Structure 1
Amino acid sequence: MRLRPPTNPVDPRALRWWRLRALCSAGLVTAVLGVTTWLWEPGRPWLAVPLVAAALWTVARVTFEPRIRYAVHRWETTDQGIYGLSGWVVREWRAAPLSRVQTVDAVRGPLEQALGLATLRVTTASSSGAVNIVGLDKDLAAELAERLTVITEQIPGDAT
């Protein structure tokens, strides 16, 4: 199995998921700083700079991050392995042979559930951790989890 670029993009709804996550994290910090600046008059002079920085960071996270992630994130499964390419600042390119797979899970957080998305988590006998393929359609993730489970059950050994 050679390391190669995976071919499949994530679901387009992942763009909304990434935007909502950015709003929940960076947007919350901006909102707290904004309310604090508005309510606490003596702190306005020194809160202005962090507020502007947080607002710019929030705009970048909501506007640019999802587009970059969508352009970068790719995945592919074959009968021999699973391939994943992810990241927007630090890019991670992973390939895992199915002979090393220990568990296959379809994970859905609250925002993913609301958008009909899921994350395929493939745990291997590796110190690098699981291969996560985020932003998949929930039905596709369930189908892939089932298919990969069937394939790995047919491989002899205990994946260690």
Structure 2
Amino acid sequence: MYARTATGIACLAVLLGAGSATAAPAQDIAVNTKAVIAADHTVTASGTYRCTGSAGLAPVYVTASVKQGGTSISGDSQEAVCDGAWHNWSTKSRAFGDIHLAPGPATVQGQLVQLEPRTGLIPIGTTFLAAAERQVDLVPQD
């Protein structure tokens, strides 16, 4: 009797687990295939994201970095709207000094990052909710 019940529960768990494994994630981010590079070498990357469950004390931000060869520059961030719908994002990565990128192939990594208040030595913690990396074309701004 117990073996039959345990087997039934195990089968139910497998079936429920299979259903949730195929469900769409609550947090997701995508990167567009092109990024724009301005005359001052500022790169604008973009894409779409969706997230759920953000609360006032634990905001979620969209961040991006652009890498070309051995050079990587990080962009600004924007606060995400976590209502479960898809939203557009766009960040600017600014060059500085002799560090800059040029038109051509590059890699953009977009991330959804949640900031969480904590106690202790480091008062803010970060949780990476989603990340996407894509090969893009850096095209000159018109």
Higher strand proportion (structure 1 or 2): 2
Same fold (TM over 0.5): no
**TM-score (norm: length of structure 1):** 0.29
**TM-score (norm: length of structure 2):** 0.32
